[in-house]
Amino acid sequence: MPTFTTSDGTEIYYTDWGAGKPVVLSHGWPLSSDAWAAVAKLLADAGYRVISHDRRGHGRSTNTDLGHDMDTYARDLAELVEHLDLTELVVIGHSTGGGEVVRYAAQHGKGRVRKVVTAGAVPPVMVQSETNPEGTPIEVFDGIRAGVLADRSQFYKDLAVSFYGFNREGAKVSQGLIDDFQRQGMLAGLVAAYNCVKVFSETDFTEDLKALDVPILIAHGGDDQIVPIAAAADKAIKLVSDGTLKVYEGAPHGVAGDYQDALVADILEFIAD
């Protein structure tokens, strides 16, 4: 099982598949690198070396109560990239992972990153405020924290329904996806899952987006109920200097099914030389 140890002693688990120019995948909350498994295989089959890591406190990485802030998450990613000595790198992040790769690329990726891709990503900032009226009210995130504390096993099963859009009329419900969301969520430490809510909801990525000096593909589901597009991709695309916005009409937050197939095709087109 490949792991490396960060500068503060945290062990980070990762997978490393395929050969070719490197791609790093960062997962969303409260999941693990397993959320990217199918996409990672498809990218590896297309001729890329694909690395997926479990964020600290999540999956098979150290169940630590320390370092749950976006600067540390981005530093962990930077240290993994340096450990593997990756260059000509594409970084791809979903949801919280989208914020992670944006901050990493802006603050650590100079000379290593060639392109960035986000999907259903949290930047610029999720929480509602006077300057971000389209954002999600803080009470929603308070409710997530309460659910994690009260009965996170059931909470994750319930959350998976809107995550994958299974509450929409005509949706084909996959109990397997719901169960796997719960499985991955339960691998995250309680403190990590709880504290990461503040990280993904309140971190402001505005300056990171402005600082990006490489092309970015901003992908978002048009029916994303977790990270609504109006406060996320619609704003992020206006802040970057070299961005492409791709909206998947009717697609949910979770990357699966037809949405996954379309996203992979667009990623491969975007990252091709």
Strands (E), the chain: 3-5, 11-17, 22-26, 49-53, 89-94, 113-119, 216-221, 243-248
Helix (H) or strand (E) holding 42: helix 37-45
Q: Is 95 a catalytic residue?
A: yes
Please provide the DSSP assignment of 119-188 as one string: ES---S--B-BTTBTTSB-HHHHHHHHHHHHHHHHHHHHHHHHHHTTTTSTT----HHHHHHHHHHHHHS
Which of the residues 54, 76, 208, 224 is marked catalytic? Answer: 224
Amino acid, single-letter form, for residue 262: A
Q: What is residue 236's DSSP assignment?
A: H
Which of the residues 32, 33, 61, 95 is marked catalytic? Answer: 95
Which of the residues 27, 58, 68, 253 is marked catalytic? Answer: 253
User: Which residues does the annotation mark as catalytic?
Assistant: 95, 224, 253
